[in-house]
């Protein structure tokens, strides 16, 4: 038998790795992928608690998270392509046009 807390630990570690990716990397594509990692960690937590309480409503919730993540990836990558057209670069540190 697998203790359900193991799944929660895995989700927490996955979230930490995703957060590290967002903070340590300056490449916008890697940052978007790290956001996907964190969304998946949240999904894993939701599904674990759904399994603990034998509640299939958690699966509907996870379904919505996946759909919103797909929308987020599509818009985020489109914005990156638009930025790349104008700036030839997707380094977050150099996108300071709206900073001051």
Partner 1 sequence: MMLLEAAAHMVDPSTISTSSAPLILFWIFSAVVLGGAILTIFQTNMVAAVMSLVATFFGLAAIYAMLSAHFIAALQVLVYAGAIMVLFIFVVMVLNKDEAPRPMRGLITKMIGAISIVSLMFTLMPLLDNAVPGGVETPSADFGTVANVGDILFNDYLFAFEAVSILLLIAVIAAVVVARTHKQEVVEEGHLAEHEAMPEATIEASH
The CA distance from 98 to 71, in Å, is 24
Nearer to partner 1, 86 or 98 (CB): 86
Minimum Å distance from CB 42 to partner 1? 12
Q: Scanning the structure block, which residue is given the tokens 């509640």? A: 55
Residue ranges in 2-21 that form contacts with partner 1 under rule CB under 8 A: 2-10, 12-14, 16-21
Does residue 42 bind partner 1 (CB under 8 A)? no
Nearer to partner 1, 33 or 95 (CB): 33
- H helices, E strands: number in the chain: 3, 0
Binding mask 46-75 for partner 1 (x = CB under 8 A): -xx-xxxxx-xx-xx-xxx-xxxxxxxxxx
Contact by Cβ (8 Å): 95, 84 = no
């Amino acid at each position: 038998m697998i203790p359900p807390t193991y799944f929660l630990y895995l989700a927490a570690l996955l979230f930490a790795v995703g957060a590290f990716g967002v903070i340590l990397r300056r490449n916008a594509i890697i940052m978007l992928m790290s956001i996907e990692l964190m969304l998946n960690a949240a999904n894993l937590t939701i599904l674990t608690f759904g399994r603990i309480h034998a509640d299939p409503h958690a699966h509907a919730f996870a379904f919505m998270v996946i759909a919103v993540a797909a929308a987020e990836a599509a818009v985020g990558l489109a914005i990156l392509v638009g930025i790349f057209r104008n700036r030839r670069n997707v380094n977050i540190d150099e996108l300071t046009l709206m900073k001051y």
